[in-house]
Amino acid sequence: MREPDGETKLVCASCVTEGYLQSLIEAKPSGSCSYCEKAAAPCFEIDDLADLVEEAFESHFRRTPSEPSDYEYALIRDREISYDWSRDGTPVLDVIVDIASCEQEVGEDLLEILQDRHGSYDPSDPTGDEDEFSPESYYERRNVNSVFWQVQWHQLEMALKYESRLFNQEVLNLFQNVFAGLEEARTHHGGLTIVEAGPGTELRGLYRAREFQSQDELKKALEEPVKKLGPPAGPIARANRMNSSGISVFYGAKDAKSALAEVRPAVGSQVVVAQFMFTRPLRLLDLRSLESITCKGSLFDPVFVQEVERIAFLRTLARRLTLPVMPGDQDHEYLITQAVADYLASLKKPLLDGIIFPSVQDGVGENVVLFHKASLIEHLPYPHGTRLSSSLLDYEPETDEGYPSFSIHITEPKISKEDKRRLRLIPLEPDWEFKTEREPALRLLIDSIVVHTVKAVEVHTSQDRVFISHGTAFERADDDGAFSEF
């Protein structure tokens, strides 16, 4: 677009205030702005700016239909339904002015340039089709396509299942790209994806549940609560959603109900639920917050297109990592979640101690897995030599009949008050001589222990009716040429 004297129109950074565009303009030679007439200011040719606007529209916007769909026409024609159709989106000029943060006159010139490039539309011709940048056109943001990341993630899953697990550089590269920028990530409401937990925070502890199907095992658990109610030692740690076999981690829940649901207890079993408090600050990645993570950048920056697609995929990650898995499929289907947990546990920046993720079993609660480095539990605050004994029954004095009654009796050795004050809380570290030293992160509240006897299990389902159809039988020829009904 040119001035009346034939010179190309120029625009300065004062007339276009979008950050990325301003940086491009300020890198240009000085000139005289055709809009605010500022002299000796860095300026951009308006046609070059139109190129960037056009690319932004191609990458981030779609033109909305100019008339109702067949379905909407049907609603309009239906006399019983009052339906007023209005076009979706925003007028194209308003979109240009908004995304470029430019003056109205600049936006009008940009639209005129784009209309000349694409235009054959005549508003006075009712039979003519609307062009891309007709003044009457409307636009809305395009749905983000994250197919690239979905394909990459699927290939990663296949590689872990059938190719290489322990040393897979492609897996590492994808994780580094997917989880980039977690430290700075923000949600739509300004929240953080990394939650601070521990003393003085909203999340000061967790509930953990263990199922027991014999009275002997239940009695042992009450007499050794730190060992039996805490995470299993490495040699007996089974593979689970967020840990491989042999890796001891702490699974807990924010509330007792969710902890109870997660163990999926059998009717007739007994489940012990106890509360563990955090003894030091911890940092947890909240998978649910990823669902509302925002993507900051400029619509005019080519890199931003890729970032939008990555963030769109990241928003689906919580669902991908918490999909219900059938018992027979766990060995294969848990490989990807185990790999993610191992990767996040190994990060130095951001330094993470665990993951918060939605409960699969009750559908409303939140679970937490503490990585091995943050799953060490303090010893109970009693002196060395303290003995715990338990009772599972009490008796009616008149009938001498037993009834369930659970108790723990604590017998401390004789020790002076001065020696007690010098005692330190010693963490329970199985096979400590072979492990990297860990700092305790959890303390069992022994008076929080509750025994649940499972009387029944409630199941919530969605129902889909099976429809039966009938057809006629037909015949096929057997190998010997005879016909039989099929």
Residue predicted with more confidence, 474 or 385: 385
Q: Which pLDDT belongs to residue 420?
A: 58
Residues 256/273, Cβ–Cβ less than 8 Å: yes
**Helix pair 302-314, 169-178: axis angle to 10 deg:** 100
Across the beta sheet with 282-286, the strand order is 194-197, 282-286, 354-358, 366-370, 250-253, 205-212, 270-278, 442-453, 377-378, 427-428
d(Cα 149, Cα 153) in Å, to the nearest integer?
6
Helix (H, G, I), strand (E, B) or coil at 445: strand
Q: Which pLDDT belongs to residue 127?
A: 47
Q: What is the DSSP string of 176-241?
A: HHHTTTTTT-BBTTS-BSEEEESTTSS--EEEEEEEESSHHHHHHHHHSHHHHHSPPPGGGPPPBT
With bands split at pLDDT 50, 70 and 90, how would you rate the model's confidence at 181? confident
Q: Which pLDDT belongs to residue 40?
A: 85
Residues 314/285, Cβ–Cβ less than 8 Å: no
Kindly tell me if the per-residue pLDDT of 77 is higher than 70.
Answer: no
Kindly tell me if the per-residue pLDDT of 307 is higher than 70.
Answer: yes
Classify residue 106 as left (phi > 0), alpha (psi -120 to 50) or beta: alpha
Tell me the sheet residues that pair with 2: 8
Helix (H) / strand (E) element for 475: namely: strand 475-477
Classify residue 190 as left (phi > 0), alpha (psi -120 to 50) or beta: left
* Overall average pLDDT of the 361-373 stretch: 87
- 63 DSSP assignment: E
Longest distance between any two alpha carbons in the chain, whole Å: 114
Q: Which of 176-180, 323-327, 349-353 has the highest mean pLDDT?
A: 349-353
Q: Which pLDDT belongs to residue 126?
A: 53
Q: Which pLDDT belongs to residue 270?
A: 95
* Overall average pLDDT of the 470-484 stretch: 60
With bands split at pLDDT 50, 70 and 90, how would you rate the model's confidence at 211? very high
Residue predicted with more confidence, 48 or 436: 48
Report the percent of the chain where pLDDT is more than 70.
82
pLDDT in tens, 381-435: 888 888 999 999 877 666 667 678 899 999 988 766 666 555 555 555 555 545 5
d(Cα 122, Cα 70) in Å, to the nearest integer?
25
- 65 DSSP assignment: P
Across 27-36, 47-56, 307-316, least confident range: 307-316
Average pLDDT score over the chain: 84
d(Cα 111, Cα 327) in Å, to the nearest integer?
59
Kindly tell me if the per-residue pLDDT of 362 is higher than 80.
Answer: no
Residue predicted with more confidence, 409 or 131: 409
Residue predicted with more confidence, 296 or 424: 296
The tokens describing 247, both together, are 């890796």
Q: Could you count the other beta carbons within 10 Å of the beta carbon of residue 327?
A: 6
> In this structure, what are the phi and psi dihedrals at residue 23, rounded to the nearest 5 degrees?
-65, -35
With bands split at pLDDT 50, 70 and 90, how would you rate the model's confidence at 51? very high
Residue with tokens 């909203």: 202
Helix (H, G, I), strand (E, B) or coil at 443: strand
Kindly tell me if the per-residue pLDDT of 291 is higher than 60.
Answer: yes
The tokens describing 453, both together, are 């006897």
d(Cα 466, Cα 453) in Å, to the nearest integer?
37
Q: Could you count the other beta carbons within 10 Å of the beta carbon of residue 238?
A: 11
Across the beta sheet with 138-141, the strand order is 61-63, 138-141, 90-91
Q: Which residues of 399-414 are buried (b: 16+ CB within 10 A; e: fewer)?
A: eeeeeeebeeeeeeee
d(Cα 368, Cα 480) in Å, to the nearest integer?
65
Residues 275/369, Cβ–Cβ less than 8 Å: no
By the 10 Å C-beta count (0-12 exposed, 13-18 middle, 19+ buried), 261 is classed as: buried
Tell me the sheet residues that pair with 243: 240
pLDDT in tens, 5-37: 667 899 999 999 999 999 999 999 999 999 998
With bands split at pLDDT 50, 70 and 90, how would you rate the model's confidence at 300? very high
Report the percent of the chain where pLDDT is more than 90.
45
The tokens describing 62, both together, are 């779609």
The tokens describing 245, both together, are 């076999």
pTM of the model: 0.77
* Overall average pLDDT of the 275-294 stretch: 93
Q: Which amino acid is at 177?
A: N
Q: Which pLDDT belongs to residue 39?
A: 85
Q: Which pLDDT belongs to residue 486?
A: 41
Q: Which of 109-113, 140-144, 480-484 has the highest mean pLDDT?
A: 109-113
